[in-house]
Amino acid sequence: MSLNVLRASIRTGGANPLRRASQLHRSAFRSNFNRNFSTPPPPAPEAAKSATGLYLGFGAVAAGGLAYYLLATDGGKATASTAKSGVQAVKVKANFVPTKEDYIKVYNRIADILDVDDYDDGSYGPVLVRLAWHASGTYDKDSKTGGSNYATMRFHPESQHGANAGLNVARDVMEKVKQEFPWISYGDLWTLGGVAAIQEMAGPHIPWRPGRIDGFAAQATPDGRLPDATQGADHLRHIFYRMGFNDQEIVALSGAHALGRCHSSRSGFEGPWTFAPTTLTNDFFKLLFEETWVWKKWSGPKQLEDKKTRSLMMLPTDYVLVQDKSFKKWAKAYADSQDLFFKDFSDVLSRLFELGVPTEQFVSPEPWTMPKVEEQQPVKND
Ligand code: HEM
């Protein structure tokens, strides 16, 4: 085991020796194998193959139409180069029809670059999950605008929205992958990044399928569509009902805060929610019930800290999950059963990542299960 792996595992394993052991196993496993395809991946479904042509055709028409629209509406100055690169991207696509195996290669590349020594808790995973969620969570079911289809966070001013502070880190990481696989759309890449990060951080499979197309700045969403952590239950419902989710789904999605941390330089808030911020567990819910949470005395925005260690945090919107009766019922259910949490989280995250994408754009009628890296290793015969 390399020193780096050991260091990263100790850093992220926290106080729990069991968790540390599982992390060591996972990291060692990951570093010991070549992620690039040791076994042939499952064949692409027939439906996917045939629908890909449709998707390519649609992509070309959409890009052409959008280019025309934008050139007509802004005189073509600001968007001319974007339109040009969009057209080039479509050309690349026209010469190359990616299969499920190609997407698995992208998945593996993302998995490869998750672990890093000099960033946060040793992984880009959490910030990639946040990128995928913020790209999708702008969806408005009434106007059918926003969502992951066009990856509009690439453009000003959406890239500068307060809620997206710090996501340039994740976009830059994804850009390296895009250079290697120029045929993939940004929306597909970012959501696949979220899927790979969750799955490789010991989470459940998140069914996913490609089909998103690159859009233009004019399709960017207005500020204010993502949740504000200083608010309460009414606000959470207002934001997530707009995307089409219910109370149970709001709570399940919030369980992603088992991962990562707040950065005062980004959101103003500070600290991690759990002791193992690079492993998905139901600890976020367990800690909400098991710890005593008190308001942190500091000059930053109102946040809670655990009375025992003062090293963990909860946002006001996290704490609401144990104060509101309807939310609390689900938070308790997820604290009691990680299996239930994983099942519901997988279901709702898969749908979150598809918000705003017209069904006919997807290359497959059903989402795919992307195999985790460890599942791609050859099966040992006794
Ligand atoms: C319920 C409403 C939500 C609010 C108010 C909220 C708010 C926040 C805030 C303030 C941060 C800290 C950002 C920073 O300072 O770097 C954060 C981080 C994060 N959020 Fe949320 N969030 C919400 C829902 C979600 C959902 C639905 C997901 C994913 C399914 C998610 C995943 C994450 C992750 C993984 C991080 C850590 C990022 C990192 O470590 O860089 N959040 N969130």
Convert the pLDDT of each residue in 138-151 to its tens digit: 999 999 999 999 99
User: Does residue 7 carry a pLDDT above 80?
Assistant: no
More confident residue, 197 or 84: 197
**Which of 7-16, 42-51, 98-107 holds the top average pLDDT?**
98-107
Q: Name the active-site residue from 190, 208, 273, 368.
A: 273
Tokens describing residue 204 = 């459940």
Domains in the chain and their CATH numbers? 5-222+351-376 (1.10.520.10), 233-345 (1.10.420.10)
Which of 124, 130, 161, 304 should be mutated for ligand 1, with most atoms under 8 A from CB?
130
Query: pLDDT tens-digit profile of 151-204?
Result: 999 999 999 999 999 999 999 999 999 999 999 999 999 999 999 999 999 999
Residue percentage of the chain with pLDDT more than 90:
73
- Whether the per-residue pLDDT at 209 is higher than 50: the answer is yes
**Cis bond upstream, residue 157 (ω within 30):** yes
Check if the beta carbon of residue 94 is closer than 8 Å to that of residue 102. no
* Per-residue model confidence (pLDDT) at position 303: 98
pLDDT digits (tens, 9 = 90+) for 309-347: 999 999 999 999 999 999 999 999 999 999 999 999 999
- Angle CA(279)–CA(131)–CA(309) in degrees, nearest 5? 40
Distance CA 229, CA 237 (A): 13
* Residue minimizing CA distance to atom 6 of ligand 1: 229
Can you tell me the mean pLDDT for 108-132?
98
User: Counting Cβ atoms within 10 Å, is residue 151 exposed (0-12), middle (13-18) or buried (19+)?
Assistant: buried
- Say how many Å lie between the CA of residue 83 and the centre of ligand 1: 32
What is the rounded CA–CA span in Å between residue 179 and residue 305? 41
Active site annotation includes 273: yes
Q: Whose CA is nearest to atom 19 of ligand 1?
A: 130
Vertex 133: Cα angle to 157 and 41 (nearest 5)? 125
Distances, alpha carbon 14 to alpha carbons 10, 64, 121, 188, 256, in Å: 7, 52, 10, 33, 18
Alpha-carbon distances, residue 359 vs 28, 179, 234, 268, 319 (angstroms): 39, 27, 31, 38, 36
DSSP letter, residue 320? G
Q: How far is the centre of ligand 1, averaged over its atoms, from the C-alpha of 119 (Å)? A: 17
368 as an active site residue: the answer is no
Range list of β-strands (E), the chain: 261-262, 271-272, 293-295, 304-306, 313-314
